[in-house]
Structure 1
Amino acid sequence: MTSRTKSQWRSEILASRRAVDATTRSAEADALAAAAAELGAALGPGATVCAYVPVGGEPGSVAVLDALAGVVARVLLPVAREPGPLLWAPYRGVNSLVPAPFGLREPEPPFLPPDTAAEAALLLIPALAVDRRGVRLGRGAGFYDRTLALAPETRLVAVVRDSEFVDELPEDPHDVRMHAVLTPGGGLRTVDDQGGQRPAE
Structure 2
Amino acid sequence: MRVRNKPWADEYIKEHADYIVTEPEKYIGKWQDRFAKSQPLNVEIGSGKGQFIIETARRNPDINFIGIELQKTVIAIALKKYMETPLPNLQFLLTDGANVDELFQPNEIEKLYLNFSDPWPKKRHAKRRLTSPNFLKTYQVVLQNEGQIEFKTDNRGLFEYSLVSFNNYPLEFDYVSLDLHQSEENEDNVETEYEQKFSAKGPIYKLVAHFKKV
Bigger helix fraction: 2
Task: Settle same-fold status: TM greater than 0.5.
Answer: no
Task: Please tell me whether Structure 1 or Structure 2 has the larger radius of gyration of its CA atoms.
Answer: 2
TM-score (norm 1): 0.38
